[in-house]
Amino acid sequence: MARALDAARSLVRRDLLLALRRKSDVGTALLFFVIVASLFPLGVGAEPNLLHAIGPGVIWVAALLSSMLSLSRLFADDHADGTLEQMLLGAAPLGVVVAAKAAAHWLVSGLPLVLIAPLLAIQYDLSASLIAVLTLSLLLGTPVLSMIGAIGAALTLGLRGGGVLLALLVLPLYVPVLVMGAGSVDMAAAGLGAQSQLLLLAAMLIVSLAFAPWAIAAALRISIE
């Protein structure tokens, strides 16, 4: 048990270090998030009431797309240089290994989104309490995106046109997170309280943390054999 946790910790540290050495990758996905969210007012008009209404949904959809961008690289680099095979052969349970990889993916691509989202919410003129709800919903929801996305990344590992295929596989599965995430802000805006939606997001997070590593590990074993 302690050995497995050690392996997970050092794997997260290694992935973070790798991400730190290639800052541009992280920056690109973040920039994509900001640009997509900034394009919508240009498309639909800058009418404040309209922006209030679409703001949470737009920010959430932009977060979905942006966290998906970096998914195809989640296992690809390790697969290319053979590290992934060593991880499969190693003593640490594969479920722990892939959970650590997904956690590192979230730290690199999900957490920055959560931190920058309040800034975008100000662009949409959301009130301070709504910004807090939005940030909290992203904090609970983006790890689920990383876990589900990792399943898709493992299944499409090494395939031609993997990126587009990955989007096709993963986006329908993101629907509940999107609905609950954007819904929580809408509920709060309507004065109904966001608690129920946030609790459901937390439930999804727990369920995905418990079950997604199995699916990711199974998919990886199939993809590499």
Partner 1 sequence: MSARPMRWFWFSSPHTFFPLAGSIARICALAAAVLCVAGLYVGLFVAPTDAQQGEAYRIIFIHVPAAWMSMFLYVVMAFWAAMGLAFNTRLSGMMASALAPTGALFTFIALWTGSLWGKPTWGTWWVWDARLTSELILLFLYFGFMALKAAIEEPRRADRASGVLALVGVVNVPIIYYSVKWWNTLHQGASVSFTKAPSMAATMLVGMLLMALAFWMYSIAVALTRVRCMIREEER
Binding site for partner 1 (CB under 8 A): 148, 151, 155-156, 159-162, 165, 168-169, 171-173, 175-176, 179-180, 183, 186-187, 204, 211, 215, 218-219, 222-223, 225
Closest to partner 1 by CB, 70 vs 184, is 184
Least gap, CB of 165 to partner 1 (angstroms): 5
The position carrying tokens 């679409």 is 54
Phi first, then psi: give them for residue 22, nearest 5 degrees.
-125, 70
Least gap, CB of 190 to partner 1 (angstroms): 8
Closest to partner 1 by CB, 97 vs 155, is 155
Closest C-alpha among 49, 57, 202, 192 to residue 120: 57
Residue 42, SS3?
helix
Closest to partner 1 by CB, 110 vs 141, is 141
- With residue 79 as reference, give the H or E element that holds it: helix 76-80
Least gap, CB of 223 to partner 1 (angstroms): 7
Closest to partner 1 by CB, 65 vs 169, is 169
Closest to partner 1 by CB, 119 vs 175, is 175
Least gap, CB of 148 to partner 1 (angstroms): 8
Query: Mind giving me the DSSP string for 98-134?
Result: HHHHHHHHIIIIIHHHHHHHHHHHHHTT--HHHHHHH
Least gap, CB of 112 to partner 1 (angstroms): 26
DSSP state of 171: G
Least gap, CB of 167 to partner 1 (angstroms): 9
Closest to partner 1 by CB, 66 vs 197, is 197
Distances (CA, A) of 25 to 32, 33, 73, 89, 142: 11, 13, 10, 29, 18
* Cβ pair 65, 39 in contact under 8 A: no
